[in-house]
Amino acid sequence: MRAAVLHAPGDIRVEQVPVPTPGPDEALVRVAACGVCGSDLNRMLRPGGAYHLPLICGHEFAGHVIALGSELAAAGTVSEGDLVAVPPLIPCRRCASCARGHFSLCEDYDYFGSRRAGAYAEYATVPAGNLMVLPADLDPRAAAMLDPAAIALHAIWRTKLRTGHRVAVVGAGPIGLFAIQWARLAGAAEVLSIDVSERKAAMAVEAGATHTATSPERARELAGDGYDVIVESAGVPATADQAVALAARHGHAVFIGIPHDPVVLPKPSFSNFLRREVSLHGAWNSFSAPFPGDEWRVAARAMCDGRLHWKFMITHELGLDALPGLMHQLGERSVFSSKVLFLPGALPDALPGGVRQPTGDRP
């Protein structure tokens, strides 16, 4: 099969590698679509970003089951031809966090595209517990975007967002755009999107933002007495400070973005945190019990029934051959992007093993 293989930081080659063989409790999945996460850029371009080399990255993916291991076939829970989304974290199910159902906090997890081979490839093997069977008529591209949708919902649920609340979302990448939609679906009266990009501000309006700000000054002007809920998805020290500074009395700020530089709260922001009794929350991954969690199930239902919009986010749909060059462009920020999807290849009429392609929309 063809795969984009990381050999060293920045050294990404599309090459032929063996098709993986599923274990007894695994399925072989033909990848229909795999999205780029910001963590992929750090993993593939920065020294020390990868746990081991060579590595096939990519963890936001969906595809079709084309072969089953013996135990999985006997269980009858998944069938060849099924469309599946793949939650990327594989919990150990042994640690204290897993015992409590806090799978996002697993202490000994495996992870697609990081600790094990991922989905910038034509095929991937997936354990039974990570196969989320979806309706055949759901677009596989939507299925591949369930991970950022679930991450945004997990963060929203870490707060006490209620009908009528004022919400600010810092960062208008895919996670931020999903957070805007979840806030509106939860009944937020007002949603401010904060991002320096005018193009992303326009996308935020399409997602449902009632106001946008492309500068800190404009955000402060709109804030008034502050926001009840702030979702920080940009992962920049300055925006972390901004999230705290914009909080209302008894407001909640939840942090999804991962800064690479120290985060320091200036005295005015720290004073706001103290004097307004602001609650700060971390949000890590998107999983709960029963695995993969209601975040994934609610997101899937919202994708299927059309409440959650996703097509407007896609700026790139490309084959694997374009991956090395585009990754470097994304790392250099020389191209505008929102959701980037790699399509390892349209499914043929007859899949390996003679399994017919399922009906329904597909890339």
Task: Name the token pair of 330.
Answer: 């994304």
Task: Name the token pair of 38.
Answer: 């910001």
Alpha-helix runs per DSSP H in 132-285: 140-144, 146-158, 174-185, 198-207, 216-223, 237-245, 267-275
Determine the average pLDDT of the residues in 218-242.
Answer: 98
Q: Which CATH superfamily is domain 149-282 in?
A: NAD(P)-binding Rossmann-like Domain (3.40.50.720)
156 vs 236: CA distance, rounded Å: 19
Q: Is the pLDDT of residue 345 over 90?
A: no
Q: What DSSP state is assigned to residue 129?
A: G
Amino acid at 349: D
Q: What is the pLDDT of residues 166-188, one digit of tens each?
A: 999 999 999 999 999 999 999 99
Name the band, by pLDDT with cuts 50, 70 and 90, for residue 135: very high
CB 81 within 8 A of CB 28: no
* Confidence (pLDDT) at 358: 30
Q: Is the pLDDT of residue 346 over 80?
A: no
Task: Name the token pair of 120.
Answer: 């910038």
Q: What DSSP state is assigned to residue 196?
A: S
Q: Which of 14, 24, 26 is nearest to 116 (CA)?
A: 26
* Confidence (pLDDT) at 288: 97
- Listed in sequence order, the residues at least 6 apart from 138 whose beta carbon sits closer than 8 Å to its beta carbon are 83, 300, 303, 304, 360, 361
End-to-end CA distance of the chain: 19
* Confidence (pLDDT) at 363: 25
* Confidence (pLDDT) at 19: 98
Q: What is the pLDDT of residues 44-80, one digit of tens each?
A: 999 999 999 999 999 999 999 999 999 999 999 999 9
CB atoms within 10 A of CB 214: 16
Q: Is the pLDDT of residue 359 over 90?
A: no
Report the sign of the C-alpha dihedral through residues 38, 323, 353, 20, in that order: negative
Q: What DSSP state is assigned to residue 350?
A: B
* Confidence (pLDDT) at 80: 98
What is the full DSSP assignment across 41-98? Answer: HHHHHSTT-SSSSSEE---EEEEEEEEE-HHHHHHTSS-TT-EEEE-SEE--S-SHHH
pTM: 0.94
If DSSP codes are grouped into helix, strand and coil, which group holds residue 12?
strand
Q: What is the pLDDT of residues 251-279, one digit of tens each?
A: 999 999 999 899 999 999 999 999 999 99
* Confidence (pLDDT) at 218: 98
Q: Is the pLDDT of residue 356 over 80?
A: no
287 vs 267: CA distance, rounded Å: 35
Q: Check residues 353 and 317 and name the one with the higher pLDDT.
A: 317
* Confidence (pLDDT) at 350: 31
Q: Where are the domains of the chain?
A: 2-145+310-354, 149-282
Q: What is the pLDDT of residues 89-101, one digit of tens each?
A: 999 999 999 999 9
Topology, domain 2-145+310-354: Quinone Oxidoreductase; Chain A, domain 1 (3.90.180)
345 vs 320: CA distance, rounded Å: 8
Of all residues in the chain, the percent with pLDDT exceeding 70 is 95
Task: Name the token pair of 240.
Answer: 């972390």
Name the band, by pLDDT with cuts 50, 70 and 90, for residue 84: very high
Q: Which of 246, 129, 157 is nearest to 194 (CA)?
A: 246
Distances (CA, A) of 42 to 10, 259, 263: 10, 11, 18
* Confidence (pLDDT) at 295: 98
155 vs 147: CA distance, rounded Å: 12
